[in-house]
Amino acid sequence: MSSSMNNDDLLLGKATQYVSNYDQSLLFPIARSANRARLNLPVNKAKGERPFFGEDVWTGYELSWLNLKGKPQVAIAEFLIPADSTNIVESKSFKLYLNSFNNTRIASSEEVTRLLLQDLSAGFGAQIEVKLCAVDAFPLAQAELGDNIDELDIEVHDFAPNAALLKVSDHVVSQTLNSHLLKSNCPVTSQPDWATLVVQYTGSEIDPAALLKYIISYRNHDDFHEHCVEQIFCDLCQVGDFSELIVSARYTRRGGLDINPTRSLKPLVAGNRVGRLARQ
């Protein structure tokens, strides 16, 4: 699959014929490299090391296919994409690809999983993970997010990303902060993307009011979910000295998909992941 981005080829914002028979060619990859070339990456890049670790967790709430007798089957799918994959996949193309299973007869859920692994690993340019879950067995919302900063009484003037708003002190703390006020816009359609941002860290104490102003500064920003989280992570790295830093965003679903990027100074472990939230 080609990973070059041409706006004329993007499906977002265009009238689209929905295909309901399996078609892996619907996936549209976009290379991560162009966005990362614009970031202030963490200093360990100079040592030839990976600038950050992380993953993008997509949840597919509308996956369905037919069994060999023509009876519809449904499942909720979780897709885990490593942050070092070559590409992201444009979200509308992902939705169209999943819709292409709707009238396709497939012998088992294991075969569905195999096809998803095969096609999406090729599209993202890395080996991904796929987990199918019965609707009744899907885990409920998780609420352990640390301290919410949304009630701070602040005055806001910036509605475009402004890293200069961030402030830290020399005091070293271990802390988790969250805000439900992150909003950005789709770079193609300008549709709003809403998210909860969670910052887990050990290091320079982050000024919560300054962090909230910075989060709100994304309100009119046009960019993909993954790019926003990487920019937030890199801006924090530039202003503070952290031994641990994990930035996660849980975005609300649109068209049956949510996208949830996490970036970290260290390899992620199971306990670092922020689970599904109420708005998802």
Show which residues are catalytic. Answer: 186, 193
DSSP 189: T
Cβ burial, residue 119 (10 Å; 0-12/13-18/19+)? buried
Listed in order, strand segments (DSSP E) in the chain are 29-31, 53-66, 72-82, 87-89, 129-133, 147-148, 168-185, 192-206, 242-251, 257-264
Query: Residue 31 corresponds to which tokens in the numbers above?
Result: 């290379």
Nearest to 87 by CA among 35, 46, 132, 52: 35
Reduced to 3 states (helix: H, G, I; strand: E, B; else coil), residue 105 is strand
Nearest to 274 by CA among 144, 166, 155: 144
Do 204 and 169 meet the contact criterion of CB atoms below 8 Å apart? yes
Q: Which residues pair with 263 in a beta bridge?
A: 54, 247
